[in-house]
């Protein structure tokens, strides 16, 4: 045992030095602060930075949501209904209503037919796009009918409008030398023949009453053949060749055709934005669905 506790002078000095080092390290550990230096934080800048982060998160969330574009609720498909959040029953109610050739013309009509909730209606109704003829209806010009005392002639009894002379036209009450000359001039401008009776509306100075009297005596019997354009396949460049259809109206026709997934009848073009409804009978002469 004695040999284990007997140290030389150098060993005793080393042990003493070790004890001093341990003591110094202990003092440093207890009395010296080794915690990292706390940086000064500006609370206002921190709030602005947090607000910017929240804003970026909100933008990312909005971008991740499905995007909706204006659409006509009358033509919602099954897939479109699912993306809007409609149930199968609500979509079926809409399709049943449309199968009867009925139309939805307001958000109130849409909720009444589909029975969607107020919250869903408030979410999707801002994207509803109804034709202008629904949102801003315009009065139509209706021609007066024949009087009861005036018996209209049959088709065989009438004179062909494409062969009528100026003197024959002047027999009609209300048509003089100038108006008869205008009718002949317009007929010549159209290639020498009217396509249909409705083109008389294009002759300047003819009132609806005078037109009625003319058509009681004359009618188009030898109309020329016209190459008609398929309304469901026509391009914008083809549509602008039609009288009274400009580029803007042609573009609106293409847009409405896309929304409807093709037109079912020619009269559907009346629901096209900015369409010249008072010229529909003339425009229809150049259109077909076949």
CB 220 within 8 A of CB 195: yes
Work out the number of other CB atoms within 10 angstroms of the CB of residue 19: 10
- Determine the Cα–Cα distance for residues 81 and 230; give it in Å rounded to an integer: 30
Residues sharing a CB contact under 8 Å with residue 280, sequence separation 6 or more, in sequence order: 267, 269, 270
pLDDT tens series, the chain, 290 aa: 556 567 778 888 888 888 899 988 888 888 877 666 666 667 788 788 888 888 888 877 766 655 667 888 888 888 888 888 899 999 999 999 988 878 888 889 999 999 999 998 998 888 888 876 666 665 544 433 444 455 678 888 899 999 999 999 999 998 999 999 999 999 998 888 888 888 898 898 888 899 999 999 999 988 888 788 898 888 999 998 888 888 999 999 999 899 888 888 888 888 898 888 888 888 888 888 87
Find, among 81, 93, 104, 283, the residue nearest to 202 by Cα: 283
Domains delineated in the chain: 73-130 (no CATH), 159-219 (1.10.150.320), 229-288 (1.10.150.320)
CA distance 233 to 256: 13
């Amino acid at each position: 045992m004695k040999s284990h506790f007997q140290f030389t002078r150098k060993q005793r000095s080393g042990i003493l030095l070790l004890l001093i080092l341990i003591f110094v390290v202990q003092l440093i550990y207890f009395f010296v602060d080794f915690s990292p230096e706390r940086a000064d934080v500006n609370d206002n800048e921190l709030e602005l930075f947090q607000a910017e982060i929240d804003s970026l998160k909100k933008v990312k969330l909005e971008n991740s949501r499905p995007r909706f574009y204006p659409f006509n609720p009358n033509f919602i498909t099954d897939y479109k209904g699912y993306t809007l959040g409609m149930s199968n029953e609500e979509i079926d109610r809409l399709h049943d209503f449309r199968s009867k050739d009925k139309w939805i013309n307001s958000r109130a009509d849409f909720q009444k037919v589909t029975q969607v909730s107020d919250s869903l209606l408030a979410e999707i109704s801002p994207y509803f796009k109804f034709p202008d003829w629904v949102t801003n209806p315009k009065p139509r010009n209706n021609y007066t009918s024949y009087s009861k005392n005036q018996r209209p002639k049959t088709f065989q009894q009438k004179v062909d409008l494409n062969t009528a002379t100026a003197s024959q036209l002047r027999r009609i009450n209300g048509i003089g030398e100038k108006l008869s000359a205008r009718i002949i001039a317009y007929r010549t401008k159209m290639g020498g023949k009217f396509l249909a009776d409705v083109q008389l509306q294009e002759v300047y100075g003819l009132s609806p009453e005078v037109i009625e009297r003319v058509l009681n005596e004359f009618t188009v019997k030898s109309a020329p053949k016209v190459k008609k354009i398929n309304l469901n396949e026509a391009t914008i460049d083809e549509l602008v060749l039609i009288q009274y259809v400009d580029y803007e109206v042609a573009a609106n026709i293409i847009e409405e055709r896309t929304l409807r997934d093709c037109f079912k009848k020619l009269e559907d073009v009346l629901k096209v934005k900015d369409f010249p409804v008072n010229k529909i009978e003339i425009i229809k002469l150049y259109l077909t669905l076949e």
